[in-house]
């Protein structure tokens, strides 16, 4: 089984104003714009762009306690891309923690700081309001300096997190599998046999068991394929 | 005798020596205090902050580091509006925490004034 | 007619006499104590109201309608209504008729307390006379009425669901004694009067039983005296335990009604008026099913009935837990048959606390805000703390105002001062007043004539307390709690305080807004606690919804709407404990499968939005979307 994930519906975090303010978009919207150049919400010459990490992930209020794993590195990647497109724009990343665990991820982070001059602010954005100029004003606390920060932005990107596929419950029910407390499918063991379900002959791969990066997904897919092969050959 | 100046004590928090009795007391009445991850949402959204510099994140941290005086000052600026409760990603009942802090700051004894006469209209 | 016992006395009346004297003494003591606890001003008001003809008549009528006939209970539940009124009114009639019998037949014995109660033992009247026939018939009739009520009460104890109650209270030990003695009184009376009926007369019930006993017993007169003893003992036990059981509500309610009619309110958490309310609680348990927290079994013991019980026991730890957990939605107050104000009572308990740190708002300087609001525009919009976290409401509200051509200005575009209501609900009145005063300063500096609010929490605060702080027109607000009518919007100090639902309803009615009606969209309206039960605004938001689509109703709505679970009223209820409350409230809203849940409170919207599969919108959004 590889039922994948869904993106957190960013409008659920009402205080960020997705769907209310024109200048608030999600990571998926921005990626779409990178690929097609088609999004009226993105201004021609933005002077300041903000990224909000952990939107709908690590957030009990949004019903998701898990870390989405990919948003930190995606935000840094997208921040650098924005900086490439708009070299004069200031780019801010509002984060709670930066979790850059993958291979070369930390190098990316250094790159973003050193070569692109992306500003990293440790503080979760709590309120977004619209200003007269049509942009948005973001309120957060710079927890490192211990002072509230306020910044006017032309574009705010919400890093919507990975949440479980809402169909998981019904799909799992059909093959008598269980979902975990986070809504993802339950593996036999989260450390040693993540690709195996508690039921014999049912295998799991990718983001159906939790947020995954691409390398992890690929590795799990291979592992699952191998496990299936062993199972069918009766080697187990 | 106070000359208005003096040697400033070291600003380092010596974790071996600081008095954490207040923190431990709070752990009992409002166990939520342990789960703060210091994201700063509460401080950024705080209605009282622009006036008094109230920051619940700082209050919690100050108590954990034994800097009780700073925490006390900030607490007196809380308006109990509940915005911090709404935004906390860890689901901390911040209002309960603040009220408990204000109530049990000096001791964990519950104190009442039953003779108080005031028109209760809500 | 013969006086059967020449001395007019028999030792079996002693248990009854003991109970009667004890309970009367206790009540007199209680009344004096309560009156002493009242502040002098309240005491004076109370005495004046007792002799004012208008309130005097009202008191009599209210006591008759509520204590005896249980009119409110009838409206709520016919079966329960019958059960209670049959016992209460029936008993009253038996006592009254007993006295009439004595006055008619043997007036020189009227000074004896027990004569009307044990009339049939002492007096041998004959049903052959007209007076006897009528009297005995009435006595038997009301005894039958009471017995039917007792039968229902016994059934209710075993199967409360038959009476539409999912949960009832667990009686305490003394309550159980009181209960059983109450149940025993009337069957014993029937037995005693039946066995005596062939000597001192009876009617359809007692005579037929007498005939029956004569058939099956060899000598029924042997049993006569023991049953009179048993009857008297049952009465004596009931009246002796009464002050310590829930049955204390019977005398207490008769005190509560005139005090309420005199306009008294709770001033002290435990004494005076509050004490009368606590004792007036009949422990019926209607508040348990009404309480939104009861969806969690663990919270059943946090209902108002248990608060009253714990206050009687002075169990400070539980009193504190119960008062802190409550959402203050006010539903228990609305459903309460005797009018115990569960929410006010809890805030009163909160107000008794002493704090080591007291908030001080001297640092809150509103001068810059006062400068900003002075300017054009006669409508001042105060978004409030919660609306800042739901920008959709603010944006939609301003958009509607623009479309209606209203000249408005913002009171807190960049954050303001909290209205003070959360502080008030925490029982910290002085601090709340400080915050409130700051806001009043800003409002006055703005020179507006209308204060517009989209948050019912702020709205209730401003509407109920605006006049008082200014020392001007007080009490113009329709009051707190149940029964507040939303008909008249108070104008205080020249400034009209309106909630956006009222204001929009007016704009639509006046034709300044012409929403596009889409009958296919089905909306359900959630009555926010502070707006509905708090201020009696039910119709205006519904009018607005009817102008944009089809309105369907929730299973429980209006006064009985179920709190969303997000309330700021609760101090200690944790985030995870609120989820089942919210889900229960959502299920209640979705019985008619609406397309959209509409509410008029930012806090309700955020709370529902977290778990709802149906879109949740504010009234302003729905209206804004329908405007071209």
Q: Are residue A38 and residue A147 in the same domain, yes or no?
A: yes
ipTM computed for the complex = 0.91
Chain A residues at the B interface, defined by Cβ less than 8 Å, are 15, 54, 58-62, 96-97, 122-127, 139-143, 146, 148-149
Helix C575-589 / helix C602-611 crossing angle, nearest 10 deg? 90
Q: Are residue A177 and residue A155 in the same domain, yes or no?
A: no
Between C437 and C376, the more confident residue is C437
Q: Does pLDDT of C185 surpass 50? A: yes
Q: Is residue A1 part of a domain?
A: no
Report the run of H or E that residue C105 belongs to, with start and end. helix C78-105
Q: Are residue A135 and residue A215 in the same domain, yes or no?
A: no
Q: Are residue A146 and residue A175 in the same domain, yes or no?
A: no
Q: Are A220 and A194 in contact (CB under 8 A)?
A: yes
- Please give the average per-residue pLDDT across C324-341, as a whole number: 93
Residue C555 CA to residue A102 CA, distance in Å, equals: 52
The nearest alpha carbon in chain B to A14 belongs to: B87
CATH number at residue A78: 3.50.50.60
Classify residue C144 by burial, with Cβ atoms within 10 Å: 0-12, 13-18, 19+: middle
Classify residue C180 by burial, with Cβ atoms within 10 Å: 0-12, 13-18, 19+: middle
Q: Is residue A32 part of a domain?
A: yes
Residue of A10, A14, A135, A170 to mutate, testing the C interface (most C Cβ within 10 Å of its Cβ): A14
Residue C116 CA to residue C122 CA, distance in Å, equals: 9
- For residue C480, the model assigns a pLDDT of 37
Q: Are C118 and C165 in contact (CB under 8 A)?
A: no
Q: What is the pLDDT of residues A74-86, one digit of tens each?
A: 999 999 999 999 9
Neighbours of chain B (3+ CB pairs under 8 A): A, C
- Please give the average per-residue pLDDT across A13-21, as a whole number: 93
C-alpha torsion C542→C543→C547→C552, nearest 10: 30
Q: Are C1 and C123 in contact (CB under 8 A)?
A: yes
- For residue C475, the model assigns a pLDDT of 36
- Please give the average per-residue pLDDT across C348-377, as a whole number: 90
Give B 28-67 residues with CB within 8 A of chain C. Answer: 32, 45, 47-48, 50-52
- For residue C470, the model assigns a pLDDT of 42
User: 3-class secondary structure for C29-41?
Assistant: HHHHHHHHHCCHH
Answer whether A14 sits within 8 Å of C395, measured CB to CB. Answer: no
Q: Are A187 and A197 in contact (CB under 8 A)?
A: yes
Contacts of C388 in chain B (CB under 8 A): 45, 83
Q: Are C82 and C145 in contact (CB under 8 A)?
A: no
Q: Are B39 and B89 in contact (CB under 8 A)?
A: yes
DSSP state at residue C356: S
**Upper half-sphere CA count for residue A14 (Cβ side, 13 Å):** 26
**C39's torsion region: left (phi>0), alpha (psi -120 to 50) or beta?**
beta
Last residue of a domain, one of A106, A133, A162: A162
Q: Is residue A84 part of a domain?
A: yes
Tokens of C582: 């919210």
∠ Cα C109 C110 C111 (to 5°) = 90
- Please give the average per-residue pLDDT across A67-95, as a whole number: 95
- E runs forming strands in C469-609: 491-492, 495-499, 518-525, 549-552, 596-599
Between C123 and C405, the more confident residue is C405
The nearest alpha carbon in chain B to C412 belongs to: B47
Q: Does pLDDT of C54 surpass 90? A: yes
- Please give the average per-residue pLDDT across C510-539, as a whole number: 94
Q: List the domains of chain C with CATH numbers.
A: 2-244 (no CATH), 250-350 (1.10.1060), 367-506 (3.40.50.1860), 513-626 (3.40.50)
Q: Does pLDDT of A192 surpass 50? A: yes
Residue A124 CA to residue A208 CA, distance in Å, equals: 28
- The region of weakest confidence among C451-460, C484-493, C587-596 is C484-493
Query: Computed from CA positions of residues B100, B102, B103, B106, in that sequence, does the dihedral angle turn out positive or negative?
Result: positive
Answer whether B101 sits within 8 Å of C357, measured CB to CB. Answer: yes
Q: Are residue A143 and residue A65 in the same domain, yes or no?
A: yes
Of C316, C324, C429, the CB nearest to B118: C429
Tokens of B9: 């004590």
Classify residue C304 by burial, with Cβ atoms within 10 Å: 0-12, 13-18, 19+: buried
Cα C475 off chain centre by = 21
Q: If pLDDT is split at 50, 70 and 90, which confidence band does A30 have? A: very high
Name the nearest CA neighbour of C495 among C439, C435, C434, C413: C439
Q: Are A25 and A180 in contact (CB under 8 A)?
A: no
Helix/strand/coil for A170? helix
- φ and ψ at residue A64, rounded to 5 degrees: -130, 115
Q: Does pLDDT of C481 surpass 90? A: no
Strand order in the sheet with A119-122: A24-26, A155-160, A48-55, A90-95, A119-122
Q: What is the pLDDT of residues A108-163, one digit of tens each?
A: 999 999 999 999 999 999 999 998 888 999 999 999 999 999 999 999 999 999 99
Residue C217 CA to residue C198 CA, distance in Å, equals: 14
> Which residues partner with A52 through β-bridges?
A94, A158
Q: Are residue A104 and residue A207 in the same domain, yes or no?
A: no
Q: If pLDDT is split at 50, 70 and 90, which confidence band does B10 have? A: low
DSSP state at residue C516: P
Range of the domain at A18: 7-162
- For residue C487, the model assigns a pLDDT of 32
Last residue of a domain, one of A162, A191, A215: A162
Q: What is the pLDDT of residues B63-95, one digit of tens each?
A: 998 888 889 989 999 999 999 999 999 999 999
Last residue of a domain, one of A127, A162, A197: A162
CB distance from A92 to chain C under 8 Å?
no
Q: Could you write out the DSSP letters of every residue in A42-87?
A: S-SS-SEEEEEEEESSSBGGGTB-S--SSHHHHHHHHHHHHHHH-T
Q: Is residue A57 part of a domain?
A: yes
DSSP state at residue C561: P
Residue A157 CA to residue A48 CA, distance in Å, equals: 11
- E runs forming strands in chain A: 5-7, 24-26, 48-55, 90-95, 119-122, 127-130, 136-142, 147-153, 155-160, 162-164
Neighbours of chain A (3+ CB pairs under 8 A): B, C
Q: Are residue A205 and residue A104 in the same domain, yes or no?
A: no
Q: Is residue A2 part of a domain?
A: no
- The region of weakest confidence among A65-79, A213-227, C196-210, C310-324 is C196-210
Q: Are residue A112 and residue A198 in the same domain, yes or no?
A: no
Q: How many independent structural domains does chain A possess?
A: 2
Q: What is the nearest CA distance from C322 to chain B, expressed in angstroms?
A: 14
Q: Are residue A157 and residue A169 in the same domain, yes or no?
A: no
Residue C591 has a CB neighbour count (10 Å cut-off) of 13
Residue C234 CA to residue C231 CA, distance in Å, equals: 5
Residue C22 CA to residue C11 CA, distance in Å, equals: 17
Q: Are B59 and B101 in contact (CB under 8 A)?
A: yes
Q: What is the pLDDT of residues C95-109, one digit of tens each?
A: 999 998 888 888 888
Contacts of C275 in chain B (CB under 8 A): none
Beta strands C495-499 and C450-453 are parallel
Residue C473 CA to residue C134 CA, distance in Å, equals: 58
Total residue count of chain C as it appears in this document: 628
Residue that has been written with the tokens 């309608």 in this structure:
C65
Name the nearest CA neighbour of C157 among C171, C178, C174, C144: C171
User: 3-class secondary structure for C579-616?
Assistant: HHHHHHHHHHHHHHCCCEEEECCHHHHHHHHHHCCCCE
Q: What is the nearest CA distance from B120 to chain A, expressed in angstroms?
A: 34
Q: What is the pLDDT of residues C579-620, one digit of tens each?
A: 999 999 999 999 999 999 999 999 999 999 999 999 999 999
Q: Does pLDDT of A89 surpass 70? A: yes
Q: Is residue A183 part of a domain?
A: yes
Beta strands A147-153 and A136-142 are antiparallel
Residue A34 CA to residue A39 CA, distance in Å, equals: 9
- For residue A66, the model assigns a pLDDT of 93
Contacts of A14 in chain C (CB under 8 A): 389-392, 605-606, 609
- For residue C465, the model assigns a pLDDT of 82
Helix/strand/coil for A231? helix
Q: Are A87 and A116 in contact (CB under 8 A)?
A: no
CB distance from B70 to chain C under 8 Å?
no
Q: What is the nearest CA distance from C390 to chain A, expressed in angstroms?
A: 5
Between C119 and C561, the more confident residue is C561
Q: Are residue A153 and residue A213 in the same domain, yes or no?
A: no
Name the nearest CA neighbour of C67 among C280, C335, C309: C280
Name the nearest CA neighbour of A31 among A14, A5, A7: A7
Q: What is the nearest CA distance from C572 to chain B, expressed in angstroms?
A: 6
Classify residue C64 by burial, with Cβ atoms within 10 Å: 0-12, 13-18, 19+: middle
Q: What is the mean pLDDT of chain C?
A: 89
Q: Is residue A151 part of a domain?
A: yes
Contacts of B95 in chain C (CB under 8 A): 422, 426, 568, 571
Tokens of A44: 């021609």
Q: Is residue A139 part of a domain?
A: yes
Q: Does pLDDT of C83 surpass 60? A: yes
- Please give the average per-residue pLDDT across C479-486, as a whole number: 35
| C-alpha pair distances (Å), C120 with each of A101, C47, C148, C203, C213 | 94, 40, 22, 12, 17
Q: Are residue A176 and residue A145 in the same domain, yes or no?
A: no
Residues 6+ apart with CB under 8 A from C552: C522, C523, C524, C592, C594
Residue that has been written with the tokens 């000052």 in this structure:
B73
Residue C510 CA to residue C411 CA, distance in Å, equals: 26
- For residue B6, the model assigns a pLDDT of 58
Q: Are residue A11 and residue A86 in the same domain, yes or no?
A: yes
Name the nearest CA neighbour of A56 among A94, A11, A101: A11
Answer whether C351 sits within 8 Å of B120, measured CB to CB. Answer: yes
Q: Number of A:C CB contacts under 8 A?
A: 34
Residues 6+ apart with CB under 8 A from A48: A89, A90, A91, A92, A135, A151, A152, A153, A154, A155
> Which residues partner with A147 through β-bridges?
A142
Q: What is the pLDDT of residues C204-254, one digit of tens each?
A: 898 899 889 888 887 777 888 899 999 999 999 999 999 999 999 999 999
Classify residue A174 by burial, with Cβ atoms within 10 Å: 0-12, 13-18, 19+: exposed
Q: Does pLDDT of C69 surpass 50? A: yes
- For residue A123, the model assigns a pLDDT of 95
Tokens of C620: 């302003």
């Amino acid at each position: 089984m590889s039922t994948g994930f869904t993106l957190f519906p960013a409008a659920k975090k009402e205080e960020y104003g997705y769907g209310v303010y024109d200048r608030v978009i999600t990571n998926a919207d921005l990626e779409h714009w990178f690929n097609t150049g088609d999004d009226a919400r993105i201004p021609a010459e933005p002077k300041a762009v903000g990224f909000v990490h952990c939107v709908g992930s690590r957030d009990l209020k949004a019903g998701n306690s898990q870390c989405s794993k990919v948003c930190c590195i995606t935000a840094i990647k997208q921040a650098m891309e924005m900086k490439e497109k708009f070299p004069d724009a200031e780019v801010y990343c509002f984060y709670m923690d930066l979790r850059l665990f993958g291979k070369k991820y930390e190098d990316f982070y250094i790159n973003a700081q050193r070569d692109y001059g992306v500003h990293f602010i440790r503080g979760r954005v709590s309120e977004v309001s619209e200003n007269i100029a049509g942009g948005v004003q973001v309120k957060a606390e710079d927890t490192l300096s211990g002072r509230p920060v306020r910044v006017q932005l032309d574009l705010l990107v919400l890093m919507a997190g990975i949440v479980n596929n809402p169909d998981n419950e019904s799909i799992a029910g059909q093959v008598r599998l269980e979902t975990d407390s986070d809504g993802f499918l339950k593996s036999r063991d989260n450390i040693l046999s993540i690709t195996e379900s508690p039921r014999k002959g049912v295998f799991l791969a990718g983001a159906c068991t939790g947020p995954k990066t691409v390398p992890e997904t690929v590795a799990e897919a291979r592992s699952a394929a191998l496990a299936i092969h062993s199972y069918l050959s009766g080697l187990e | 005798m106070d000359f208005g100046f003096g040697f400033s004590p070291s600003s380092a928090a010596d974790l071996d020596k600081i008095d954490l009795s207040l923190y431990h007391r709070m752990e009992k009445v409002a166990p939520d205090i342990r789960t703060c991850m210091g994201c700063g949402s509460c401080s950024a959204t705080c209605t009282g902050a622009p006036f008094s510099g109230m920051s619940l994140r700082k209050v919690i941290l100050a108590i954990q580091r034994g800097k009780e005086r700073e925490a006390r000052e900030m607490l007196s600026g809380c308006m109990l509006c509940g915005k911090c409760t709404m935004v906390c990603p860890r689901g901390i009942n911040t209002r309960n925490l603040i009220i408990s802090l204000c109530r049990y700051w000096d001791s964990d004894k519950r104190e009442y004034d039953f003779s108080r006469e005031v028109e209760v209209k809500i | 007619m013969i006086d059967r016992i020449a001395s007019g006395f028999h030792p079996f009346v002693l248990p009854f006499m003991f109970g009667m004297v004890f309970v009367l003494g206790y009540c007199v003591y209680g009344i004096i104590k309560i009156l002493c606890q009242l502040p002098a001003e309240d005491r004076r008001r109370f005495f004046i109201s007792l002799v004012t003809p208008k309130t005097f008549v009202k008191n009599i009528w209210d006591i008759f309608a509520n204590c005896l006939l249980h009119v409110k209970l009838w409206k709520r539940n016919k079966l329960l209504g019958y059960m209670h009124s049959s016992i209460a009114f029936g008993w009253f009639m038996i006592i009254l008729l007993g006295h009439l019998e004595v006055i008619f037949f043997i007036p020189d014995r009227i000074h004896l307390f027990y004569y009307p109660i044990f009339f049939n033992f002492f007096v041998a009247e004959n049903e052959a006379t007209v007076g006897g026939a009528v009297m005995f018939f009435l006595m038997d009739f009301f005894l039958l009425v009471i017995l039917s009520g007792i039968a229902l009460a016994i059934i209710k104890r075993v199967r409360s669901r038959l009476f539409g109650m999912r949960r009832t209270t667990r009686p305490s030990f003394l309550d159980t004694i009181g209960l059983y003695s109450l149940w025993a009184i009337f069957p014993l009376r029937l037995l005693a009067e039946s066995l005596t009926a062939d000597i001192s007369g009876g009617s359809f019930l007692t005579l037929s039983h007498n005939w029956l006993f004569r058939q099956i017993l060899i000598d029924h007169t042997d049993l006569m005296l023991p049953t009179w003893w048993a009857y008297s003992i049952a009465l004596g036990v009931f009246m002796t335990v009464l002050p310590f059981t829930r049955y204390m509500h019977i005398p207490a309610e008769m005190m509560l009604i005139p005090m309420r009619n005199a306009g008294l309110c709770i001033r002290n958490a435990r004494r005076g008026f509050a004490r009368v309310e606590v004792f007036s609680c009949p422990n019926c348990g209607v508040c348990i099913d009404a309480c939104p927290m009861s969806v969690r079994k663990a919270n059943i013991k946090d209902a108002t009935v248990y608060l009253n019980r714990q206050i009687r026991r002075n169990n400070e730890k539980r009193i504190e837990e119960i008062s802190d957990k409550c959402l203050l939605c006010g539903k228990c107050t609305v459903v309460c048959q005797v009018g115990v104000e569960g929410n006010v009572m809890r805030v009163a308990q909160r107000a008794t606390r002493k704090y080591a740190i007291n908030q001080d708002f001297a640092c809150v300087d509103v001068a810059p805000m006062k400068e900003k609001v002075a300017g054009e525009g006669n409508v001042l919009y105060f978004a409030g703390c919660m609306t800042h976290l739901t920008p959709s409401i603010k944006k939609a509200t301003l958009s509607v105002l623009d479309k209606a051509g209203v000249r408005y200005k913002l009171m807190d575009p960049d954050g303001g001062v909290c209205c003070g209501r959360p502080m008030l609900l925490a029982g910290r009145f002085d601090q709340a007043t400080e915050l409130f005063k700051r806001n009043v300063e800003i409002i006055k500096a703005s020179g507006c004539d209308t204060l517009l609010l989209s948050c019912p929490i702020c709205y209730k605060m401003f509407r109920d307390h605006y006049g008082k702080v200014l020392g001007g027109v007080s009490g113009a607000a329709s009051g707190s709690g149940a029964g507040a009518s939303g008909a008249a919007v108070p104008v205080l100090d020249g400034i009209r305080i309106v909630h956006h639902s009222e204001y929009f309803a007016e704009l639509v009615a006046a034709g300044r807004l012409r929403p596009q009606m889409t009958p296919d969209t089905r909306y359900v309206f959630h009555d926010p606690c502070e707006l509905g039960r708090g201020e009696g605004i039910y119709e205006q938001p519904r009018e607005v919804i009817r102008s944009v689509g089809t309105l369907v109703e929730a299973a429980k709505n209006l006064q009985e709407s179920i709190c969303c679970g997000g309330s700021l009223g609760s101090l200690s209820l944790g985030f995870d404990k609120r989820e089942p409350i919210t889900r229960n409230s959502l299920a209640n809203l979705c019985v008619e499968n609406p397309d959209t849940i509409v509410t008029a409170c930012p806090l309700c919207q955020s709370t529902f939005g977290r778990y709802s599969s149906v879109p949740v919108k504010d009234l302003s959004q729905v209206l804004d979307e329908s405007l071209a």
